[in-house]
Amino acid sequence: MSSFLEEILRVKEQEVTALPDRPTFERNITLKPSLRKRLLESDHLQIVAEFKRASPSKGIIVDTLLPVERAKRYEDAGAAAVSVLTDQTFFRGSLQDLREIAESVQIPVLRKDFIISEKQLREAHAAGADIVLLIVAALSSERLAELRHFAAELGLETLIEIHNERELETALAVEPDILGINNRNLHTFEVSLQTTEQLMTQIPSSIPVLSESGMATPDDAQRVAIAGVSGLLIGETLMRQGDDQLPGVLRGFQVKRFPLVKGSY
Ligand SMILES: O=P(O)(O)OC[C@@H](O)[C@@H](O)c1c[nH]c2ccccc12
């Protein structure tokens, strides 16, 4: 039986074949501040807040929010970056969402998709992304290295996503700007914060790490903060908050980092 990830990648291959070699539009915004730098320097967990209407594991999460409005609220509430799901088939996102958001906020924007081709990186750059996700489980180590280097040539930071020790080794070999530990297994959709706790023991402290998926309460943040991460990538929990609750909820996740970075006492 094929996994969810394999199914998504099959569809993605077809979509990418249909893409033009070069995007038909041009980047019209300047580069935003570096998320990597913010993660390295901060003494509290930094939040990457995701715009996510739906997912294959949850179905529709919310389909009434407007991307620009919500992204501005994330920014006002203190998010360090906005992650925008651009996959249409499985997540009901679009590159247009990303373009509009990138034009409206000052914080960096992450293109969240299943990137397998240079075409998608050129497109991400043209649409205004500052950071791109590369998923180790979706790529051979050769393709990962090629895409990582092409992203750097375009001036894009890379968030390299892993889920186990074997993937961690592959990721470290390409010197990620930021490592993402996905607590969700993309083959089965099971979520466990233990994934972050276990992998953090193997990661050099010089690399900024985001713990991704399944963050529901400040206790979850505290747990992965103790494991040593620099930030969190949160989708569903933030998407489900009303405008009034959002700032308080987001603040609740910004717990102190461990070990406390120098000068934060
Ligand atoms: O909604 P959550 O459980 O907070 O998860 C957000 C984010 O981590 C998740 O959307 C994600 C992590 N890695 C991915 C790769 C592809 C698509 C989606 C993802």
Q: What is the pLDDT of residue 29?
A: 86
| C-alpha 55 – ligand 1 centre gap (Å) | 9
Distance 113 CA to ligand 1 centre (A): 10
Which domains are present in the chain? 4-22+34-253 (3.20.20.70)
User: pLDDT at position 261, please?
Assistant: 52
For 134-143, how does the pLDDT look when each residue is reduced to its tens digit (9 = 90+)?
Answer: 999 999 999 9
Please work out whether the CB of residue 52 comes within 6 Å of at least one atom of ligand 1: yes
Per-residue DSSP letter, 44: B
Whether ligand 1 lies within 6 angstroms of the CB of 50 is answered as yes
What's the pLDDT at 260? 55
Model pLDDT for residues 50-109, shown as the tens digit of each residue: 999 999 999 999 999 999 999 999 999 999 999 999 999 999 999 999 999 999 999 999
Three-class secondary structure of residue 167 per DSSP: helix
Residues known to be catalytic: 50, 52, 112, 161, 182, 212-213
- Measured from the Cα of 87, ligand 1's closest atom is 17
Q: In sequence order, which residues have a C-beta less than 8 Å from that of residue 207 and are 6 or more positions away?
A: 172, 176, 178, 179
Q: Could you tell me the distance, in angstroms and rounded to a whole number, from the CA of residue 10 to the centre of ligand 1?
A: 19
| Residues in a beta bridge with 240 | none
| Closest Cα to atom 7 of ligand 1 | 213
247-261 burial, b for 16+ CB within 10 Å, e for fewer?
eebbeebbbebeeee
Distance 101 CA to ligand 1 centre (A): 18
pLDDT in tens, 3-27: 899 999 999 999 999 999 999 999 9
DSSP state of 138: G
Section 109-114 average pLDDT: 98
In this structure, which residue's CA is closest to atom 3 in ligand 1?
213
Residue for token digits 């996700």?
Answer: 133
> pLDDT, tens digit, for every residue of 155-200?
999 999 999 999 999 999 999 999 999 999 988 899 999 999 999 9
Is this complex's ipTM strictly greater than 0.90? yes
How far apart CA 247 and CA 249 sit, in angstroms, is 6
Q: Please give the average per-residue pLDDT across 228-257, as a whole number.
A: 98
